[in-house]
């Protein structure tokens, strides 16, 4: 494939996935709705004590973001696989790695990016400081793409299997634990008056490793699942 064709293929697949999501708005909005409701309920259940809310805020927001991302990953390839579109894409001769990367990028745009935008607003519910809110948004910006990439890999590995949704969660959740730890740890460190740099550096390293390694692995899993 030529160098000019690669960005063209990626962009075409990315735009296609966004357009398909707009036609299925209920499915696209479900992860965001879950995140909003789940995060908003915690202050009501725990109580209005500011110190308690600040302590649980990083973990609560990151766990809700992780679960919200998991709601839609099992459907990443299933509909295209069911109607034969996925096989046609693989037979075109285009890079399967680019197909996997475009699908993960579209998933992040639809689920991860809204969480990044909404998270600081909900951080106000937990009485987080302005610095902690900025760090929270930065951790989500670095961490949610990792969740989408790992979810894409899990969806490819379980493509066509029974109870695929459950299997995806069992595969992806353990792999997502480092992201959860470093993401919430960065915000907790700021709230405790410590530097968030080490946590952010580790999140950035995880993003780089995942972005370089997961799309080829997802491509291999797609080829195996469709054979």
Average pLDDT over residues 29-58: 81
| Residue extents of the structural domains in the chain | 5-225
Q: What is the model's pTM?
A: 0.86
On the question of pLDDT at 46 being above 80, the answer is no
Asked if residue 148 lies in contact with residue 66, where contact means CB atoms within 8 angstroms, the answer is no
- CA torsion, points 193, 198, 204, 206, in degrees to nearest 10? -120
- Identity of the highest mean pLDDT range in 4-13, 53-62, 99-108: 99-108
pLDDT at 2: 43
pLDDT at 116: 87
pLDDT confidence band for 209 (50 / 70 / 90): very high
- pLDDT greater than 60 at residue 163: yes
**Tokens 């390839």 map to which residue?**
77
Tell me: pLDDT of 200 over 60: yes
Angle formed by the axes of helices 96-107 and 197-225, nearest 10°: 130
Q: What is the pLDDT of residue 161?
A: 73
- The CA distance from 167 to 1, in Å, is 34
Mean pLDDT over 208-225 rounds to 89
Predicted confidence (pLDDT) at residue 146 exceeds the cutoff of 90: yes
Closest-CA residue to 62 (of 202, 214, 173): 173
Distance CA 12, CA 129 (A): 41
Percent of the residues in the chain that have a pLDDT greater than 70, as a whole number: 95
Whether the pLDDT of residue 4 is over 50: the answer is no
For the ranges 81-85, 169-173, 222-226, the lowest mean pLDDT is seen at 81-85
User: Measured between alpha carbons, how far is 58 from 184 in angstroms, rounded to an integer?
Assistant: 5
Let me know: does 64 contact 126? Beta carbons within 8 Å.
Answer: no
Three-state helix/strand/coil letters over the chain: CCCCHHHHHHHHHHHHHHHHHHHCHHHHHHHHHHHHHHHHHHHHHHCCCHHHHHHHHHHHHHHHHHHHHHHHHCCCCHHHHHHCHHHHHHHCCCCHHHHHHHHHHHHHHHHHHHHHHHHHHHHHHHCCCHHHHHHHHHHHHHHHHHHHHHHHHHHHHCCCCCCHHHHHHHHHHHHHHHHHHHHHHHHHHHHCCCCCHHHHHHHHHHHHHHHHHHHHHHHHHHHHHCC
Q: Please give the Cα distance from 26 to 55 (Å, whole number).
A: 33
Residue 187 has pLDDT above 60, yes or no: yes
pLDDT over 70 (residue 1): no
Helix axes 113-123, 130-157, angle to 10 degrees: 150
Res 18 pLDDT > 60 = yes
Per-residue pLDDT of 64-119, as tens digits, reads 888 888 887 877 777 777 777 777 777 776 678 888 888 899 889 988 888 888 87
| Mean pLDDT of the region 55-71 | 85
């Amino acid at each position: 494939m030529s160098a000019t064709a690669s960005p063209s293929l990626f962009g075409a697949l990315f735009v296609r996935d966004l357009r398909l999501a707009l036609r299925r708005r209920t499915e696209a909005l479900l992860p965001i709705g879950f995140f909003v409701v789940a995060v908003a309920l915690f202050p009501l259940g725990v109580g209005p004590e500011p110190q308690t809310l600040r302590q649980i805020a990083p973990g609560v927001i990151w766990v809700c973001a992780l679960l919200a991302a998991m709601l839609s990953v099992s459907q990443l390839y299933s509909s295209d696989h069911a109607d034969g579109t996925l096989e046609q894409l693989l037979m075109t001769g285009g890079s399967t790695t680019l197909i996997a990367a475009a699908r993960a990028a579209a998933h992040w745009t639809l689920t991860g990016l809204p969480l990044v935008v909404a998270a600081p607003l909900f951080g106000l519910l937990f009485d987080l400081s302005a610095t902690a809110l900025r760090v929270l948004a930065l951790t989500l910006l670095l961490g949610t793409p990792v969740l989408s990439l790992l979810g894409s890999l899990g969806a490819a590995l379980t493509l066509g299997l029974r109870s695929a949704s459950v299997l995806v969660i069992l595969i992806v959740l353990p792999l997502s634990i480092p992201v959860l730890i470093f993401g919430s740890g960065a915000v907790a460190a700021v709230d405790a008056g410590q530097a968030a740099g080490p946590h952010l550096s580790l999140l950035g390293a995880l993003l780089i490793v995942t972005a370089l390694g997961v799309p080829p692995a997802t491509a291999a899993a797609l080829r195996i699942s469709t054979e």
